[in-house]
A and B are shown apart, each in its own frame.
Chain A
Amino acid sequence: KQEVTQIPAALSVPEGENLVLNCSFTDSAIYNLQWFRQDPGKGLTSLLLIQSSQREQTSGRLNASLDKSSGRSTLYIAASQPGDSATYLCAVTSNTGNQFYFGTGTSLTVIP
């Protein structure tokens, strides 16, 4: 069974810092990987989707990379802002396409 791990569970950084969030998965036979943002008590907002054939995706200050062979993805946030404070979740879809597997998330706090 696919297992998805996100480390660290919580991260606190000063405003303006560049940061990296990590996601690792145990089975490299994935169809895609998606990064989400979740504000407290709210739903998930899709940030970036990387297909298994891709190495990275970019949207504004966000860049997500994927290394399938090592079972890792990173989400890079440039010039962090207080508004970036949220929980960031990654999810992978297996090659059989029958399940999203979620990590438990990294809670990010950006201090003004």
Chain B
Amino acid sequence: ETGVTQTPRHLVMGMTNKKSLKCEQHLGHNAMYWYKQSAKKPLELMFVYSLEERVENNSVPSRFSPECPNSSHLFLHLHTLQPEDSALYLCASSRREFTEAFFGQGTRLTVV
């Protein structure tokens, strides 16, 4: 148990669906991240929030929409995804930006 909890653990969605991924951390950290992990590729940073403000957005398609309502919660809203968006989506948190990171268990997303 890392103190970072992601739900759901698995998600299958059609290309026209709208769904959300949730991340919650109980570590008192100020920075939270979304990463995408595809097979045989390094982790790709998607979004960074520091003190609830987005500080990094790595050219992610607009069909991915993050939300950080407070320093403990992070959401990733999904709509009109493509099959190539199927991947493991990982949430992480750290005390400050890019200090030691703690990851959740991930959400395995399959787009059909």
Contacts and interface: CB of A to CB of B under 8 A. Distances in A.
A102 interface: yes
A93 B98 contact: yes
Contact of A32 (B40, B42, B43, B99): B99
Interface residues of A, number: 23
B6 interface: yes
A45 interface: yes
B41 A34 contact: no
A112 interface: no
B21 interface: no
18 contacts: A31-B98, A32-B99, A41-B106, A41-B108, A42-B106, A43-B103, A43-B106, A44-B103, A45-B103, A46-B2, A91-B43, A93-B98, A98-B97, A98-B98, A99-B45, A100-B33, A100-B45, A102-B43
Interface of B: 2, 4, 6, 33, 40-43, 45, 56, 88, 90, 92, 97-106, 108
Interface of A: 4, 31-32, 34, 36, 41-46, 49, 89, 91, 93, 97-104
Contact of A45 (B2, B6, B88, B99): B2
B45 A43 contact: no
A100 B33 CA distance: 10
Contact of A97 (B40, B98, B104, B108): B98
A9 B106 CA distance: 22
